[in-house]
Chain A
Protein backbone atom coordinates (compact mmCIF):
# COMPACT_ATOMS: atom_id res chain seq x y z
CA UNK A 1 0.00 0.00 0.00
CA UNK A 2 2.90 2.32 0.55
CA UNK A 3 3.02 3.38 -3.08
CA UNK A 4 -0.34 5.13 -2.70
CA UNK A 5 1.36 7.57 -0.41
CA UNK A 6 4.31 7.99 -2.72
CA UNK A 7 3.50 11.59 -3.70
CA UNK A 8 3.11 12.49 -0.06
CA UNK A 9 6.36 10.80 0.87
CA UNK A 10 8.22 12.61 -1.87
CA UNK A 11 6.72 15.92 -0.86
CA UNK A 12 7.65 15.33 2.76
CA UNK A 13 11.17 14.34 1.83
CA UNK A 14 11.58 17.42 -0.34
CA UNK A 15 10.42 19.51 2.58
CA UNK A 16 13.08 18.06 4.82
CA UNK A 17 15.98 18.56 2.45
CA UNK A 18 17.23 21.94 3.67
CA UNK A 19 17.47 20.59 7.21
CA UNK A 20 19.40 17.41 6.38
CA UNK A 21 21.90 18.59 3.78
CA UNK A 22 24.26 21.36 4.49
CA UNK A 23 26.21 21.04 1.24
CA UNK A 24 24.07 23.36 -0.83
CA UNK A 25 20.85 25.29 -0.95
CA UNK A 26 20.09 23.92 -4.36
CA UNK A 27 17.26 21.41 -4.82
CA UNK A 28 16.07 20.13 -8.17
CA UNK A 29 12.92 21.86 -9.44
CA UNK A 30 11.39 18.52 -10.43
CA UNK A 31 12.29 14.86 -10.90
CA UNK A 32 15.78 14.23 -12.32
CA UNK A 33 16.08 12.11 -15.46
CA UNK A 34 19.21 9.97 -15.23
CA UNK A 35 20.27 8.70 -18.65
CA UNK A 36 22.43 5.58 -18.54
CA UNK A 37 24.75 4.97 -21.48
CA UNK A 38 25.30 1.27 -20.72
CA UNK A 39 23.34 -1.85 -21.55
CA UNK A 40 20.70 -2.83 -19.00
CA UNK A 41 21.78 -5.39 -16.44
CA UNK A 42 25.53 -4.88 -16.73
CA UNK A 43 27.85 -3.71 -13.96
CA UNK A 44 27.92 -0.07 -15.06
CA UNK A 45 24.13 0.04 -15.36
CA UNK A 46 23.74 -1.42 -11.89
CA UNK A 47 26.23 1.12 -10.57
CA UNK A 48 24.19 4.01 -12.02
CA UNK A 49 20.91 2.66 -10.64
CA UNK A 50 22.36 2.12 -7.18
CA UNK A 51 23.72 5.67 -7.13
CA UNK A 52 20.25 6.91 -8.10
CA UNK A 53 18.78 4.85 -5.29
CA UNK A 54 21.34 6.23 -2.84
CA UNK A 55 20.58 9.83 -3.79
CA UNK A 56 16.83 9.23 -3.47
CA UNK A 57 17.30 7.75 0.00
CA UNK A 58 19.75 10.35 1.26
CA UNK A 59 18.34 13.48 -0.32
CA UNK A 60 14.74 12.68 -1.20
CA UNK A 61 15.28 13.85 -4.78
CA UNK A 62 13.23 11.85 -7.24
CA UNK A 63 15.39 10.19 -9.90
CA UNK A 64 14.04 8.51 -13.05
CA UNK A 65 16.65 6.23 -14.66
CA UNK A 66 16.50 5.71 -18.41
CA UNK A 67 18.66 3.68 -20.81
CA UNK A 68 20.21 5.64 -23.70
CA UNK A 69 22.81 3.34 -25.21
CA UNK A 70 24.80 3.24 -28.39
CA UNK A 71 27.56 4.90 -30.34
CA UNK A 72 30.12 4.80 -27.51
CA UNK A 73 28.02 7.14 -25.38
CA UNK A 74 27.47 9.72 -28.11
CA UNK A 75 23.78 8.81 -28.45
CA UNK A 76 23.38 9.76 -24.82
CA UNK A 77 25.42 12.92 -25.30
CA UNK A 78 23.22 14.13 -28.12
CA UNK A 79 20.02 13.44 -26.17
CA UNK A 80 21.44 15.10 -23.07
CA UNK A 81 22.55 18.15 -25.05
CA UNK A 82 18.91 18.77 -25.96
CA UNK A 83 17.65 18.46 -22.35
CA UNK A 84 17.15 21.44 -20.00
CA UNK A 85 20.31 22.61 -18.20
CA UNK A 86 18.61 23.00 -14.81
CA UNK A 87 19.92 19.90 -13.07
CA UNK A 88 16.88 17.75 -13.95
CA UNK A 89 18.77 15.87 -16.68
CA UNK A 90 22.05 14.06 -16.05
CA UNK A 91 23.78 11.15 -17.75
CA UNK A 92 26.31 8.46 -16.93
CA UNK A 93 29.00 7.64 -19.50
CA UNK A 94 32.71 6.87 -19.56
CA UNK A 95 35.21 9.70 -19.88
CA UNK A 96 36.21 8.24 -23.24
CA UNK A 97 32.83 9.25 -24.71
CA UNK A 98 33.42 12.99 -24.37
CA UNK A 99 37.13 12.85 -25.15
CA UNK A 100 38.29 10.28 -27.66
CA UNK A 101 34.89 9.38 -29.19
CA UNK A 102 33.72 12.97 -29.45
CA UNK A 103 36.95 13.98 -31.18
CA UNK A 104 36.87 10.99 -33.52
CA UNK A 105 33.23 11.54 -34.46
CA UNK A 106 34.05 15.19 -35.14
CA UNK A 107 30.55 16.47 -34.36
CA UNK A 108 30.89 20.05 -33.05
CA UNK A 109 27.72 19.74 -30.90
CA UNK A 110 29.03 16.79 -28.91
CA UNK A 111 32.42 18.08 -27.74
CA UNK A 112 33.50 18.18 -24.11
CA UNK A 113 33.00 21.95 -23.80
CA UNK A 114 29.29 21.54 -24.62
CA UNK A 115 28.75 19.58 -21.40
CA UNK A 116 29.22 20.03 -17.68
CA UNK A 117 31.15 17.18 -16.00
CA UNK A 118 29.62 16.46 -12.56
CA UNK A 119 31.64 13.71 -10.92
CA UNK A 120 33.63 10.60 -11.68
CA UNK A 121 32.58 7.45 -9.85
CA UNK A 122 35.33 4.89 -10.43
CA UNK A 123 38.42 4.55 -12.58
CA UNK A 124 39.20 1.82 -15.11
CA UNK A 125 41.28 -1.08 -13.84
CA UNK A 126 42.19 -1.79 -17.43
CA UNK A 127 44.44 -4.76 -18.05
CA UNK A 128 45.89 -6.61 -21.02
CA UNK A 129 44.37 -10.01 -20.33
CA UNK A 130 45.05 -13.61 -21.43
CA UNK A 131 44.12 -17.12 -20.28
CA UNK A 132 46.18 -18.07 -17.23
CA UNK A 133 47.03 -21.52 -18.59
CA UNK A 134 47.40 -20.44 -22.23
CA UNK A 135 50.47 -19.84 -24.40
CA UNK A 136 50.28 -16.04 -24.02
CA UNK A 137 50.15 -15.76 -20.22
CA UNK A 138 53.14 -13.42 -20.01
CA UNK A 139 54.21 -10.47 -22.09
CA UNK A 140 57.56 -12.14 -22.88
CA UNK A 141 55.85 -15.18 -24.41
CA UNK A 142 53.48 -12.93 -26.36
CA UNK A 143 56.33 -10.83 -27.66
CA UNK A 144 58.39 -13.89 -28.60
CA UNK A 145 55.45 -15.39 -30.51
CA UNK A 146 54.81 -12.08 -32.25
CA UNK A 147 58.44 -11.66 -33.25
CA UNK A 148 58.45 -15.22 -34.58
CA UNK A 149 55.66 -14.10 -36.92
CA UNK A 150 52.76 -16.05 -35.37
CA UNK A 151 49.53 -14.12 -35.93
CA UNK A 152 48.29 -12.86 -32.54
CA UNK A 153 44.61 -11.98 -32.15
CA UNK A 154 44.25 -8.89 -29.97
CA UNK A 155 40.67 -8.24 -28.77
CA UNK A 156 39.63 -4.63 -28.20
CA UNK A 157 36.27 -3.17 -27.11
CA UNK A 158 36.59 0.36 -28.51
CA UNK A 159 38.33 2.35 -31.25
CA UNK A 160 40.53 3.99 -28.64
CA UNK A 161 41.74 0.62 -27.42
CA UNK A 162 42.29 -0.43 -31.03
CA UNK A 163 44.46 2.63 -31.69
CA UNK A 164 46.53 2.03 -28.58
CA UNK A 165 46.89 -1.66 -29.47
CA UNK A 166 48.00 -0.78 -33.00
CA UNK A 167 50.57 1.80 -31.91
CA UNK A 168 51.75 -0.47 -29.10
CA UNK A 169 52.25 -3.32 -31.57
CA UNK A 170 54.09 -1.07 -33.97
CA UNK A 171 56.39 0.09 -31.21
CA UNK A 172 57.03 -3.49 -30.09
CA UNK A 173 57.53 -4.70 -33.66
CA UNK A 174 54.47 -6.98 -33.64
CA UNK A 175 51.75 -6.88 -36.29
CA UNK A 176 48.70 -7.74 -34.15
CA UNK A 177 45.47 -8.88 -35.78
CA UNK A 178 43.30 -6.38 -33.91
CA UNK A 179 39.78 -7.75 -33.45
CA UNK A 180 37.04 -5.31 -32.39
CA UNK A 181 34.50 -7.12 -30.18
CA UNK A 182 31.52 -6.14 -28.04
CA UNK A 183 32.69 -4.87 -24.67
CA UNK A 184 34.97 -6.41 -22.10
CA UNK A 185 32.64 -9.41 -21.82
CA UNK A 186 33.16 -10.03 -25.54
CA UNK A 187 36.92 -10.04 -25.06
CA UNK A 188 36.68 -12.49 -22.16
CA UNK A 189 34.35 -14.81 -24.07
CA UNK A 190 36.70 -14.67 -27.06
CA UNK A 191 39.64 -15.63 -24.85
CA UNK A 192 37.75 -18.51 -23.25
CA UNK A 193 36.47 -19.80 -26.59
CA UNK A 194 39.93 -19.64 -28.13
CA UNK A 195 38.86 -17.05 -30.70
CA UNK A 196 41.21 -14.43 -29.23
CA UNK A 197 44.73 -14.64 -27.80
CA UNK A 198 44.98 -11.46 -25.72
CA UNK A 199 42.76 -8.43 -25.20
CA UNK A 200 42.01 -5.28 -23.22
CA UNK A 201 39.40 -5.53 -20.44
CA UNK A 202 38.53 -2.46 -18.36
CA UNK A 203 37.81 -4.07 -14.99
CA UNK A 204 35.36 -6.94 -15.64
CA UNK A 205 38.29 -9.39 -15.53
CA UNK A 206 38.87 -8.75 -11.84
CA UNK A 207 37.07 -11.79 -10.43
CA UNK A 208 38.46 -14.23 -13.01
CA UNK A 209 41.99 -12.90 -12.38
CA UNK A 210 41.64 -13.26 -8.61
CA UNK A 211 40.47 -16.84 -9.07
CA UNK A 212 43.32 -17.68 -11.40
CA UNK A 213 41.42 -18.32 -14.63
CA UNK A 214 42.63 -15.21 -16.46
CA UNK A 215 45.81 -13.22 -15.97
CA UNK A 216 46.64 -9.55 -16.41
CA UNK A 217 49.83 -9.72 -18.45
CA UNK A 218 50.14 -5.94 -18.31
CA UNK A 219 48.40 -2.89 -16.92
CA UNK A 220 46.77 -0.70 -19.56
CA UNK A 221 46.65 2.35 -17.30
CA UNK A 222 49.32 4.64 -15.94
CA UNK A 223 49.46 2.88 -12.58
CA UNK A 224 49.77 -0.78 -11.66
CA UNK A 225 46.60 -2.82 -11.27
CA UNK A 226 45.24 -3.60 -7.82
CA UNK A 227 44.69 -7.26 -8.72
CA UNK A 228 48.10 -7.72 -10.35
CA UNK A 229 50.61 -5.32 -8.79
CA UNK A 230 53.50 -7.20 -10.43
CA UNK A 231 52.22 -6.86 -14.00
CA UNK A 232 54.21 -4.24 -15.95
CA UNK A 233 52.47 -1.20 -17.41
CA UNK A 234 52.12 -1.10 -21.17
CA UNK A 235 53.96 2.20 -21.10
CA UNK A 236 56.94 0.32 -19.63
CA UNK A 237 56.73 -2.15 -22.49
CA UNK A 238 57.02 0.45 -25.20
CA UNK A 239 53.54 1.89 -25.59
CA UNK A 240 53.46 5.67 -25.85
CA UNK A 241 49.85 5.76 -24.64
CA UNK A 242 47.83 4.33 -21.79
CA UNK A 243 44.10 3.83 -21.43
CA UNK A 244 43.15 5.71 -18.29
CA UNK A 245 39.50 6.55 -17.92
CA UNK A 246 36.57 6.91 -15.58
CA UNK A 247 32.91 6.15 -15.22
CA UNK A 248 31.33 9.56 -14.75
CA UNK A 249 28.22 11.69 -14.60
CA UNK A 250 27.70 14.63 -16.93
CA UNK A 251 25.02 17.29 -17.43
CA UNK A 252 24.17 19.66 -20.29
CA UNK A 253 26.49 22.64 -20.82
CA UNK A 254 26.07 25.91 -18.89
CA UNK A 255 24.58 24.18 -15.87
CA UNK A 256 23.86 26.45 -12.91
CA UNK A 257 27.04 26.24 -10.73
CA UNK A 258 24.93 25.66 -7.62
CA UNK A 259 23.27 22.68 -9.31
CA UNK A 260 26.65 21.35 -10.40
CA UNK A 261 28.05 21.58 -6.91
CA UNK A 262 24.99 20.02 -5.29
CA UNK A 263 24.75 17.13 -7.76
CA UNK A 264 28.48 16.42 -7.58
CA UNK A 265 28.37 16.51 -3.78
CA UNK A 266 25.38 14.17 -3.72
CA UNK A 267 27.13 11.61 -5.93
CA UNK A 268 30.29 11.86 -3.85
CA UNK A 269 28.34 11.54 -0.64
CA UNK A 270 26.59 8.36 -1.79
CA UNK A 271 29.72 6.71 -3.18
CA UNK A 272 31.89 7.45 -0.15
CA UNK A 273 29.32 6.29 2.39
CA UNK A 274 30.23 2.68 3.32
CA UNK A 275 26.58 1.98 4.15
CA UNK A 276 25.21 2.46 0.62
CA UNK A 277 24.71 -0.33 -1.89
CA UNK A 278 26.47 1.82 -4.48
CA UNK A 279 29.59 1.98 -2.34
CA UNK A 280 29.54 -1.78 -1.80
CA UNK A 281 29.20 -2.49 -5.52
CA UNK A 282 31.95 -0.06 -6.52
CA UNK A 283 34.29 -1.45 -3.87
CA UNK A 284 33.65 -5.03 -4.94
CA UNK A 285 33.57 -4.72 -8.72
CA UNK A 286 35.24 -1.48 -9.77
CA UNK A 287 38.36 -1.23 -7.60
CA UNK A 288 36.77 1.24 -5.18
CA UNK A 289 35.18 4.66 -5.53
CA UNK A 290 37.29 7.32 -7.19
CA UNK A 291 35.28 10.53 -7.10
CA UNK A 292 36.63 13.72 -8.65
CA UNK A 293 34.45 16.84 -8.83
CA UNK A 294 34.65 20.55 -9.53
CA UNK A 295 37.82 22.17 -10.84
CA UNK A 296 39.91 19.06 -10.29
CA UNK A 297 37.54 17.25 -12.60
CA UNK A 298 37.78 19.99 -15.23
CA UNK A 299 41.56 19.68 -15.16
CA UNK A 300 41.37 15.87 -15.37
CA UNK A 301 39.03 16.01 -18.34
CA UNK A 302 41.28 18.48 -20.14
CA UNK A 303 44.22 16.15 -19.59
CA UNK A 304 42.26 13.18 -20.98
CA UNK A 305 41.10 15.28 -23.92
CA UNK A 306 44.67 16.31 -24.79
CA UNK A 307 45.75 12.68 -24.53
CA UNK A 308 42.96 11.59 -26.85
CA UNK A 309 43.90 14.24 -29.42
CA UNK A 310 47.52 13.08 -29.36
CA UNK A 311 46.48 9.46 -29.69
CA UNK A 312 44.27 10.23 -32.70
CA UNK A 313 47.05 12.20 -34.36
CA UNK A 314 49.56 9.44 -33.79
CA UNK A 315 47.20 6.72 -35.00
CA UNK A 316 46.16 8.65 -38.09
CA UNK A 317 49.79 9.42 -38.91
CA UNK A 318 50.78 5.78 -38.49
Chain B
Protein backbone atom coordinates (compact mmCIF):
# COMPACT_ATOMS: atom_id res chain seq x y z
CA UNK B 1 0.00 0.00 0.00
CA UNK B 2 1.50 3.33 -0.97
CA UNK B 3 1.40 6.56 0.97
CA UNK B 4 -1.37 7.90 -1.23
CA UNK B 5 -3.48 4.88 -0.45
CA UNK B 6 -2.83 5.34 3.27
CA UNK B 7 -4.02 8.94 2.96
CA UNK B 8 -7.02 7.85 0.93
CA UNK B 9 -8.00 5.31 3.58
CA UNK B 10 -7.61 7.70 6.51
CA UNK B 11 -9.42 10.52 4.69
CA UNK B 12 -12.35 8.33 3.71
CA UNK B 13 -12.69 6.91 7.23
CA UNK B 14 -12.80 10.44 8.67
CA UNK B 15 -15.39 11.63 6.14
CA UNK B 16 -17.50 8.49 6.58
CA UNK B 17 -17.47 8.82 10.36
CA UNK B 18 -18.45 12.49 10.15
CA UNK B 19 -21.32 11.78 7.73
CA UNK B 20 -22.77 8.98 9.86
CA UNK B 21 -22.52 11.16 12.95
CA UNK B 22 -24.03 14.29 11.45
CA UNK B 23 -26.86 12.46 9.69
CA UNK B 24 -27.72 9.76 12.24
CA UNK B 25 -25.86 9.75 15.53
CA UNK B 26 -25.98 13.37 16.67
CA UNK B 27 -29.65 14.05 15.74
CA UNK B 28 -30.79 10.86 17.49
CA UNK B 29 -28.65 11.07 20.62
CA UNK B 30 -28.99 14.67 21.75
CA UNK B 31 -31.92 15.95 23.79
CA UNK B 32 -31.91 19.46 22.35
CA UNK B 33 -31.27 20.58 18.80
CA UNK B 34 -28.71 23.01 17.43
CA UNK B 35 -30.60 26.01 18.81
CA UNK B 36 -33.21 25.74 21.56
CA UNK B 37 -35.93 28.23 22.28
CA UNK B 38 -37.77 27.22 25.41
CA UNK B 39 -39.02 28.78 28.62
CA UNK B 40 -38.43 32.23 27.29
CA UNK B 41 -34.77 31.87 26.36
CA UNK B 42 -32.94 31.24 23.12
CA UNK B 43 -29.79 29.22 23.71
CA UNK B 44 -27.27 27.00 22.00
CA UNK B 45 -28.50 23.39 22.10
CA UNK B 46 -26.56 20.25 22.85
CA UNK B 47 -26.29 19.31 19.18
CA UNK B 48 -24.45 22.46 18.09
CA UNK B 49 -20.96 21.65 19.40
CA UNK B 50 -20.88 18.00 18.21
CA UNK B 51 -22.15 19.05 14.78
CA UNK B 52 -19.36 21.62 14.51
CA UNK B 53 -16.76 19.12 15.72
CA UNK B 54 -17.83 16.49 13.20
CA UNK B 55 -17.81 19.19 10.54
CA UNK B 56 -14.17 19.74 11.44
CA UNK B 57 -13.50 15.99 11.18
CA UNK B 58 -15.03 15.96 7.69
CA UNK B 59 -12.94 18.95 6.65
CA UNK B 60 -9.83 17.21 7.99
CA UNK B 61 -10.72 14.11 5.98
CA UNK B 62 -11.00 16.18 2.79
CA UNK B 63 -7.64 17.85 3.45
CA UNK B 64 -5.97 14.50 4.09
CA UNK B 65 -7.28 13.17 0.77
CA UNK B 66 -5.48 15.90 -1.13
CA UNK B 67 -2.37 16.73 0.83
CA UNK B 68 1.13 15.41 1.25
CA UNK B 69 2.62 14.80 4.68
CA UNK B 70 5.66 16.71 5.89
CA UNK B 71 7.46 13.63 7.16
CA UNK B 72 8.85 10.77 5.16
CA UNK B 73 8.04 7.12 5.63
CA UNK B 74 4.82 5.17 5.28
CA UNK B 75 2.28 5.56 8.04
CA UNK B 76 -0.44 2.98 7.80
CA UNK B 77 -2.03 0.20 9.73
CA UNK B 78 -0.81 -3.28 8.83
CA UNK B 79 -2.45 -6.66 9.43
CA UNK B 80 0.21 -7.30 12.09
CA UNK B 81 -0.89 -4.16 13.93
CA UNK B 82 -4.49 -5.37 13.95
CA UNK B 83 -3.43 -8.80 15.24
CA UNK B 84 -1.45 -7.13 18.02
CA UNK B 85 -4.46 -5.03 19.02
CA UNK B 86 -6.69 -8.11 19.19
CA UNK B 87 -4.13 -9.91 21.34
CA UNK B 88 -3.82 -6.87 23.60
CA UNK B 89 -7.59 -6.62 23.95
CA UNK B 90 -7.69 -10.30 24.90
CA UNK B 91 -5.07 -9.81 27.62
CA UNK B 92 -6.90 -6.75 28.94
CA UNK B 93 -10.27 -8.52 28.96
CA UNK B 94 -8.78 -11.46 30.88
CA UNK B 95 -7.21 -9.04 33.36
CA UNK B 96 -10.46 -7.20 33.95
CA UNK B 97 -12.49 -10.38 34.39
CA UNK B 98 -9.98 -11.80 36.88
CA UNK B 99 -9.74 -8.52 38.74
CA UNK B 100 -13.50 -8.14 39.08
CA UNK B 101 -14.52 -11.70 39.86
CA UNK B 102 -11.63 -13.49 41.64
CA UNK B 103 -12.46 -11.76 44.92
CA UNK B 104 -16.16 -12.66 44.96
CA UNK B 105 -15.31 -16.20 43.77
CA UNK B 106 -12.74 -16.83 46.49
CA UNK B 107 -15.01 -15.24 49.09
CA UNK B 108 -17.79 -17.55 47.94
CA UNK B 109 -15.57 -20.55 48.57
CA UNK B 110 -14.52 -18.99 51.88
CA UNK B 111 -18.15 -18.79 52.92
CA UNK B 112 -18.66 -22.44 51.99
CA UNK B 113 -15.55 -23.41 53.95
CA UNK B 114 -16.75 -21.39 56.93
CA UNK B 115 -13.84 -18.91 56.86
CA UNK B 116 -16.15 -15.91 56.74
CA UNK B 117 -19.82 -15.27 56.97
CA UNK B 118 -19.81 -12.07 54.93
CA UNK B 119 -20.19 -11.50 51.20
CA UNK B 120 -17.44 -9.81 49.20
CA UNK B 121 -19.10 -6.38 49.28
CA UNK B 122 -18.96 -6.27 53.06
CA UNK B 123 -15.33 -7.40 52.99
CA UNK B 124 -14.22 -4.90 50.33
CA UNK B 125 -12.17 -2.99 52.87
CA UNK B 126 -10.85 -5.99 54.84
CA UNK B 127 -7.44 -7.63 54.52
CA UNK B 128 -6.78 -10.11 52.89
CA UNK B 129 -10.02 -10.39 50.92
CA UNK B 130 -9.76 -6.95 49.33
CA UNK B 131 -6.44 -7.77 47.66
CA UNK B 132 -7.50 -10.98 45.91
CA UNK B 133 -8.77 -9.47 42.64
CA UNK B 134 -5.99 -6.90 42.38
CA UNK B 135 -3.21 -9.41 43.02
CA UNK B 136 -4.52 -12.00 40.58
CA UNK B 137 -5.58 -9.53 37.88
CA UNK B 138 -2.55 -7.26 38.16
CA UNK B 139 -0.05 -10.10 38.11
CA UNK B 140 -1.79 -11.57 35.09
CA UNK B 141 -1.53 -8.28 33.21
CA UNK B 142 2.17 -7.74 33.84
CA UNK B 143 3.20 -11.37 33.46
CA UNK B 144 1.28 -11.97 30.25
CA UNK B 145 2.58 -8.83 28.55
CA UNK B 146 6.16 -9.68 29.59
CA UNK B 147 5.65 -13.21 28.31
CA UNK B 148 4.40 -11.87 24.98
CA UNK B 149 7.58 -9.87 24.52
CA UNK B 150 9.85 -12.70 25.69
CA UNK B 151 7.79 -15.25 23.76
CA UNK B 152 7.66 -17.65 26.69
CA UNK B 153 6.12 -17.74 30.13
CA UNK B 154 8.73 -17.47 32.86
CA UNK B 155 8.65 -17.53 36.65
CA UNK B 156 10.53 -14.26 36.45
CA UNK B 157 7.59 -12.61 34.66
CA UNK B 158 5.18 -13.78 37.35
CA UNK B 159 7.56 -12.59 40.05
CA UNK B 160 7.86 -9.15 38.45
CA UNK B 161 4.04 -9.01 38.33
CA UNK B 162 3.73 -9.93 42.00
CA UNK B 163 6.40 -7.42 43.00
CA UNK B 164 4.71 -4.65 40.99
CA UNK B 165 1.37 -5.46 42.63
CA UNK B 166 2.96 -5.50 46.08
CA UNK B 167 4.63 -2.14 45.42
CA UNK B 168 1.34 -0.63 44.29
CA UNK B 169 -0.45 -1.91 47.39
CA UNK B 170 2.29 -0.35 49.49
CA UNK B 171 1.96 2.99 47.67
CA UNK B 172 -1.81 3.31 47.34
CA UNK B 173 -3.45 1.13 49.95
CA UNK B 174 -1.42 0.96 53.14
CA UNK B 175 -0.99 4.69 53.73
CA UNK B 176 -4.50 5.77 52.64
CA UNK B 177 -7.49 4.23 54.40
CA UNK B 178 -9.98 5.88 52.02
CA UNK B 179 -8.53 4.74 48.71
CA UNK B 180 -9.88 1.66 46.99
CA UNK B 181 -7.82 -0.61 44.80
CA UNK B 182 -9.48 -2.24 41.79
CA UNK B 183 -12.13 -3.65 41.82
CA UNK B 184 -13.38 -2.59 45.25
CA UNK B 185 -15.21 0.53 44.15
CA UNK B 186 -17.41 -1.50 41.82
CA UNK B 187 -18.75 -4.01 44.29
Contacts and interface: CB of A to CB of B under 8 A. Distances in A.
Contact of B178 (A30, A64, A178): A64
A178 B175 contact: no
A315 B41 CA distance: 10
Contacts of B41: 162, 166, 178
Contacts of A186: none
Interface residues of A, number: 25
Overall SS of chain B's interface: loop
A66 B186 CA distance: 11
Nearest to B31: A105
A162 B121 contact: no
B39 A6 contact: no
A48 to B, nearest CB: 12
B126 A65 contact: no
A211 interface: no
A166 B39 contact: yes
A30 B124 contact: yes
A279 interface: no
B39 A29 contact: no
Given A315-B40, A316-B39, A66 B185 contact: yes
B39 A84 contact: no
B62 interface: no
Interface of A: 3-4, 6-7, 10, 29-31, 33, 62, 64-66, 84, 88, 162-163, 166-167, 170, 178, 180, 315-316, 318
30 contacts: A3-B174, A3-B175, A3-B177, A4-B174, A7-B126, A29-B122, A30-B118, A30-B121, A30-B122, A30-B123, A30-B124, A30-B125, A31-B125, A33-B185, A64-B125, A64-B178, A64-B180, A64-B185, A66-B185, A84-B121, A88-B122, A162-B39, A163-B39, A166-B41, A167-B40, A178-B41, A315-B39, A315-B40, A316-B38, A318-B40
